Structure 1
């Protein structure tokens, strides 16, 4: 964790951070029980949360403390870094590591608590509702309740659920409900699924350094190539970390998708109505969470469109006020910088 060395400059836009994690203490108790009972065979979860919940390092203590706080600690950090508003989302893996009944119940509890916390600081916080993909019908109902009754601004899905991905049609009621209520799904990383984590874990590459991006980028491509956006053309999905590297692969993705479909090699890869890059530009928005790097931001704006790229900090996993100052100083027009920090988020999340 880094501290601010100099005051953050005043600017003519709001800084809205769009991928900011929180964790109710009650959820940590459930995680602790899962770890103690060894009731879930998930190497990624056991490794990551075993570290954070037993670690004594400054990083582990900062993350556990900050995740649970929606009051003084978090607001002070926001003030120190010049963040006007955070869009809060249940930290990964959220309820998706739990059994079905616990997940359904706790998602409702977490959403109620989040709405109450936002009501205490409505100018500083907005929120994404949690759902339990373990029960897609229940998840769809919770989207309706969270949007219409609680005023939440989108849906958080922490990638795979017990090694299953949303391209399976059994999960599509979640897409249908999000499209019907005109709210985005934020597809956030999870630790890689059991089938892909091995070589990453061996070298410590399973987390945010690489594994998160590989896992979530693959998930997005599964969704696109399964035809989800042909079925739900108005659906919006948000992904972080500069688009999990996908903007830089667009040329090859388009070329090889076309070639692979033509080859008839895979029954699961069928023709789509548009190119992969078209869905990335029209149905996907990205945030720069954890990537405070001007060249990457500008490239994504160039290939996806200036309206598709938004600011995020990735708090508390990445908290460095100097990164905010660096992005304030990007060589970019005032109009485009305001879209990046403020108005794109206001449009996508209907703030």
Structure 2
């Protein structure tokens, strides 16, 4: 059995996460038991939710245990199998974690899923046609419930979730406005992802300036908002929200280092009868087949052209992860392991 490099959570962050919170180790892969599959990971997904799991605090999911392999989505190939459903060479997606190999129980539902790479590249199953894409789909379709002609806004617009959100909302006849960091990302949003407008949050670092930019980009107000960030951006959106606007609350990356994110004018929620709903996509597995089918079609037909930032080798994962939390990635952040 092969040697397996792994990255463990060695200690919990005090405030901002650093590379010293992680530890790279190598172990022997255990021999397979009946019903198990050995997967060689090709790509590892890095996602903002992982930062919240590093804290030892109350959240929607259990904290990442110390001394164990960091949680994370993976795509790869079956290299050995003692399960009739999986053959050597099968391409699979799962939650293999920050390591080169994983041993998976093929009988446990939901741990491993075979994927077809004929029209969709393997890496996209960690982004547009994976958990981030389904996240965008659920927030848009099940919470915001858009109508043609309505204005949708999404923060972190050029990431894996935001880019999928744009394609899905445009397919439903909406005006779509993104918020992203830097002129290059905003250009990509409008020229390649199909956004009608994109606001550079670095040019609008406070509530007054962001509200002004949103007023210009959304002359008819905001009907739906997909929130990944929090902070002054959410405050600015509430100022521009139409009556009966809907907000799908997916992430609060601005608060992941532990500082609170107070709302400046919560009365606007009442005044505009705004519906705000937080959600965790793994609690809605029943919608995944429908969502993945639509997302796969958008990618295969070129209507969704997701971009990827790819770090090379497992050892590069911590720095790539910390960079993503600061917006240094362009599109979906991955680590290539083969």
TM-score normalized by the length of structure 2:
0.30
Greater RCO, 1 or 2 (C-alpha within 8 Å, sep 6+): 1
Structure showing greater radius of gyration is 2
Structure with higher strand content: 2
